[in-house]
Amino acid sequence: MATATYPPPPPYYKLYKDYLQNPKSAPEPPPPIQGTYMLYGATYTTDDVLPSLEEQGVRQLYPQGRNIDFKKELKALNRELQLHLLELADILIERPSHKDELLQRKSGYILCMPTFHDQFTSRNLVNRSHNGETSISLEKMDVGQEQNVRGSKFKRFLTFRRREEAQKLLKDALGTLEGQ
């Protein structure tokens, strides 16, 4: 009984047999999926929108709205996270038998972390396009500076070569004058 190492190609490969001679003979690709779709048993959507904390079932610790001072809120959340972490360490070291206090501090830390992550991620999305533009302009500046350095090196090389050629011509001229 003979078996193949690989399965046979799908039957639609025959639609592309004349592609090299006539690229228009192949069918157009299917349109992109719009809306929701299933993948490995989970439902996904094509909308690239970050779900809010309420949609994720987490309480939001910072105010809602467009006029939020991200820097101030991130600093406050960072201080709160540090405080919860230090309190957790203190309880674990000094009073490890106080399970209820440990659970209370742990829940405070667990509440702060998704809020901090959401705040940081939403700020990062706001800045992402600006960061891309800045990095491209910096890259262009680097390329320009590199070209300027190469150009100046090449000019120095040419100047040195011209000086050598001029000295050689002078020596030849002096040699012919002395030989006469």
Phi, psi for 33 (deg, rounded to 5): -75, 135
Provide the whole-model pTM: 0.41
Tokens linked to 136: 């491209």
End-to-end CA distance of the chain: 100
Q: Please report the pLDDT score of residue 83 as a whole number.
A: 84
29-67: pLDDT as tens digits = 888 888 888 889 888 888 777 666 677 777 766 667 667
Average pLDDT, rounded, for the chain:
76
Q: How many whole angstroms separate alpha carbon 3 and alpha carbon 51?
A: 49
| 77 CB burial (10 A radius; 0-12, 13-18, 19+) | buried
Mean pLDDT of 7-26: 84
Q: How many whole angstroms separate alpha carbon 61 and alpha carbon 51?
A: 16
Q: Residue 112: pLDDT band by 50, 70, 90 thresholds?
A: confident
